[in-house]
Structure 1
Amino acid sequence: MLLSIIVPVYQVEKYLKTCINSMLNCHGFSYEIILVVKPSCDKSEHIANDIQKEYSDRVIIVNQDGDGLSNARNVGLRYAIGDYVAFFDSDDYIDATAFSDLMKSLESRMPVDAVISDYYIVGNSDNISQVDTIDGEELICDNGYLEVFLKKRRNYWNAWQYVLRRNFLLENKLLFLEGTYSEDIEFATGVIFTAKRFAFYGKPYYYYRIGREGSLANKVTLKHVVDLMNMLEMSMNRVNSSDAYLKNTIRDKLFLQYILSFVMIFDVNKSERKKAADIIKNKNLLYKNNRNSFLKKILLKLGVLNGARVLMLVRMLRRGILKIH
């Protein structure tokens, strides 16, 4: 079997059918869809069971044995049998034709450790924008293109933009850290520094929903702040201990995310705002000695609170005037 698609299922009844049906439209290659189900108060589990009964040749249901997205993905990986795995979220959906084209191209170019793709962003009003950083619409199998990709892309770590060779993950013990948020950062950094052969796909197939009502990603707590700082620190330590020629480029991406995290202090409960600012400030020594652009240096010098005010203003302008998340 070529591909195992791993989909955590929890409180997504409004989106689940669209998500799974988009995958069931894939064609021209062998695949399985592994639904990792955690019981919830909505009809998600019922919907998953109905779909599995109808498509038992392609859909498998396994029970989540812990909590959180990372645990669900790790559970799915244990059951997967495909040469490759993809980690898709159950509130998103794909263009089956574009994805099928990718997988058929990949099958003829095996083995590749990691395929990274462009994607679409679906906003609150169903407005769609494209993250367009990879040239052309053909599969690019060229490790040298990694530098081009990283310099164009703001971040590299959303797990659903990857198709990964399953044995590559298992042999290098690349799993998702459980019990934490922002785990994609540490996971993807491990992939970038461990993979030996990359490919890139500029024809977007993944539709990523942002700001959906009820999404856990929209509820920022102090733990989100703590975990993000820890994931950035772990990733930065991995970068600093590496001799990879792209380490400075990766540092830039991690530092940018650190700067952007300042605005989180306005997303947590007001009573925890100072504590959140202190947590972020305590990590700034990780970034002070890195090569930084003039703008980043200014924001770092402004400090967390003033830097957050600037970023909040930018965010309001993007969302209010430009309609960009």
Structure 2
Amino acid sequence: MLLSIIVPVYQVEKYLKTCIKSMLDCHGFSYEIILVVKPSCDKSEYIANDIQKEYSDRVRVVIQDGDGLSNARNVGLRYAKGEYVVFFDSDDYIDAAAFSGLMQSLESRMPVDAVISDYYIVGNSDNISQVDTIEGEELICDNGYLELFLKKRRNYWNAWQYVLRRNFLLENKLLFLEGVYSEDIEFATGIILTARKFAFYGKPYYYYRIGREGSLANKVTLKHVVDLMDMLEISMDRVNSSDVHLKNVIRDKLSLQYILSFVMIFDVDDNERKKAVDIIESKKFLYKNDRNSLLKKMILKLGVLNGARVLMSIRMIRRRFLKIH
């Protein structure tokens, strides 16, 4: 079994070596690392080319033919040869031993459409916390576990927490929407609704950095708000038109993300705040339902601006006193 590790590379010279070296420590299975490079003003492209020269048997550099993270991932998928693929970010890193254990377990349990894993969050001060929702440290090959996973996890849509069968993606035309932010939501919703065989891995291997200085993910614009609302609406429409038995659980996750998005109004420029409030408010009708918890109903009733103030207070308490992101 061959795994294709797809890594978009753009303005990450500080992190790229750590990222790729962590993957090169993998063992016990065959893999290729595809670095999809968009030329930038830093040394990322040079570092990628140097790594390719040193590890030419495992690393390939391809040049991105468009813009954005989604395009880079789709380009990598076109070049991929593996039976399975992963989409890792170039400012993050992995525990090679844990990941190797997963891939060796998966090789004996094939075919699986999608493997979902727990992960670590690395904060600004390199403090590390664990997202712990999957039981044990062995690979769980049980579709019935999906409902428990969805109920325990706040969201299901970080693309890098999935190991995916390449032909499953291609046969179902599951690609990343290009030119938008928050594309992981629509992509992962398609996986959850379409996959026929799931597996779950509770031993984290992925280290996700948050709050990285210079990261595009930290700069919130009005387009971020618009795209998030669009991705949530597209995903909700897909769920509503599907016949999966977990529709209500998935809808709950999307409605929660809609409510959590209220705080984005404090991250956009002041002169765009009213537009952001109006855009979010205009989508409220999609998320009003009888299944909402009392807290959800209260925040929806408060409206975007007042609801955002409540959520900001909750977020400050979680971060300051509970050390929870």
The answer as to 2:224 corresponding to 1:224 is: yes
Residue in 1 aligned with 2:101?
A: 101
Q: Which residue in the other structure is 2:274 paired with?
A: 274
1:190 matched to 2:193? The reply is: no
Number of positions where the alignment pairs a residue of Structure 1 with one of Structure 2: 325
Pair 1:178 & 2:178 matched:
yes
| Correspondence list, 1:82-231, <5 A | 82-231=82-231
Q: CA deviation at 1:103?
A: 0.2
Shift of 1:315: 1.7
Q: Which residue of 1 aligns with 2:22?
A: 22
1:12 paired with 2:15, answer no
> How far apart, CA to CA, are the structure 2 residues paired with 1:209 and 1:221?
21
Q: Distance in 2 between matches of 1:310 and 1:160?
A: 31
TM-superposition CA deviations, 1:222-267 (whole Å, max 9, x none): 0000000000000000000011110000000000000000000000
Give the Cα separation in 2 of the matches to 1:18 and 1:310: 38
Q: Deviations over 1:87-145 (max 9, x none)?
A: 00000000000000000000110000000000000000100000000000000000000
- What code does the residue aligned with 2:53 have? K
CA contact (8 A) 1:16 1:90 kept: yes
Match of 1:39 in 2: 39
Tell me the CA shift for residue 69 of structure 1.
0.3
TM score, norm. by length of structure 2: 0.99
1:290 Cα deviation (Å)?
Answer: 5.1
Flag structure 2 segments of 5+ consecutive residues without an equivalent: none
Amino acid at match of 1:82: G
* Residues 2 and 107 in structure 1, CA contact (< 8 A), matched pair in contact too: no
Identity level (%)? 87
Which whole-Å CA distance do the structure 1 matches of 2:324 and 2:259 have between them?
19
Shift of 1:316: 1.9
Separation in 1, partners of 2:209, 2:179: 23
- Residue identity matched to 1:234: I
TM-score w.r.t. the length of structure 1 is 0.99
CA distance in 1, matches of 2:290, 2:201: 31
CA distance in 2, matches of 1:289, 1:139: 35
Is structure 2 residue 294 aligned with structure 1 residue 322?
no
Distance of 2:168 and 2:159 partners within structure 1:
15
Cα 1:179/1:290, change in 2 over 3 Å: farther
Q: How far off is 1:200 after superposition?
A: 0.2
The residue correspondences of 1:215-254 to structure 2 (distance < 5 A) are 215-254=215-254
Supply the distance in 2 between the matched residues of 1:6 and 1:290 (Cα, whole angstroms): 41
5+ unaligned residues in a row in structure 1: which ranges?
Answer: none
